[in-house]
Amino acid sequence: MAGRIALVTGAGRGIGAAVARRLSAAGHRVALTARGDLAPAAAACVGETLAVQGDLTDPAAVERIVGTVEERWGPVEILVANAGAAMSAPLTRTTDEDWLRLLELNLTAPFRCVRRVVPGMVAGGYGRIVAVASVAARHGEKYLAAYTASKHGLLGLVRATAAELAGTGVTANAVCPGYVDTPMTDASVATIAARTGRTPAEARAVLAGKQPIGRLVTVDEVADAVLLCVGTAAVTGQAINVDGGAVQS
């Protein structure tokens, strides 16, 4: 699988940065995109990289980002749709703005990315699409209505894409992490601590305790699952849980 052209969204930190490092170490050219500073994540890669800043909630951004990769290297052959966000609120306190914001970033932006890269993948007879979803794509989670709905939708997109492209050489899979030791989880810890009066350490322990292994998942453990999807042509249409055994399926 070495020597392919990869695009990782949300690659500035956390899971996206870990995936970019691993793809680079495997011999791929890696394009990184995110809204923030990409320089540290790009510098941590060992191979050829391309950093393209952009806000995927802007409909024009996907065309600009993918077009830049194509102009520099050629068609995207590996897409890791990792960019996303979360928020916690009771259903009755989830505003229309909250709902639309999470759907736009967690579902519509990946859809646009997939739609844009698929023609080149099919034409080349090879493609790997991996969406970083969540265990919230596998079951309902209280106080996470907008996030859960967006991740359920993302899993549906992956499954429909896999079914439509079966036999073309293009696969589509979702990786579904539990609570991962990332800056996004740090924000969740801060929210829990502020709302409940727990200390940050106690709040972090609550999230760790949601997984039977009793700890947060690491970004490299999620990257392991992404690399499995990239390297295996017979795995498609799947949702691979990386959650310490929280959801058995």
First CA to last CA distance, the chain: 28
Spatial distance between the Cα atoms of 245 and 215, rounded to a whole number of angstroms: 11
Q: What pLDDT does 180 receive?
A: 93
**Residue 51 and residue 42 in contact, taking contact as beta carbons nearer than 8 Å:** yes
Confidence grade of residue 188 (pLDDT, cut at 50, 70, 90): confident
Residues in CB range of 241: below 8 A, 6 or more apart: 135, 138, 176, 178, 247, 249
For tokens 């970083």, the residue is 132
Question: What is the three-class DSSP state of 147?
Answer: helix
Strands (E), 47-204: 49-53, 78-81, 127-132, 170-177
Q: Which residues pair with 63 in a beta bridge?
A: none
Question: What is the three-class DSSP state of 231?
Answer: helix
Give the tens place of pLDDT for each residue, 33-81.
999 999 999 999 999 999 999 999 999 999 999 999 999 999 999 999 9
Q: What pLDDT does 194 receive?
A: 84
Q: What's at 180, amino acid-wise?
A: V
Give the tens place of pLDDT for each residue, 74-99.
999 999 999 999 988 999 999 999 99
Confidence grade of residue 2 (pLDDT, cut at 50, 70, 90): low
Give the tens place of pLDDT for each residue, 101-154.
999 999 999 999 999 999 999 999 999 999 999 999 999 989 999 999 999 999
Does the pLDDT at position 25 exceed 70? yes
For tokens 């801060």, the residue is 190
Catalytic residue among 126, 143, 147, 179: 147
Residue 179 designated active-site:
no
All structural domains of the chain, each given as residue ranges with its CATH number in brackets, are 5-178+218-242 (3.40.50.720), 180-216 (no CATH)
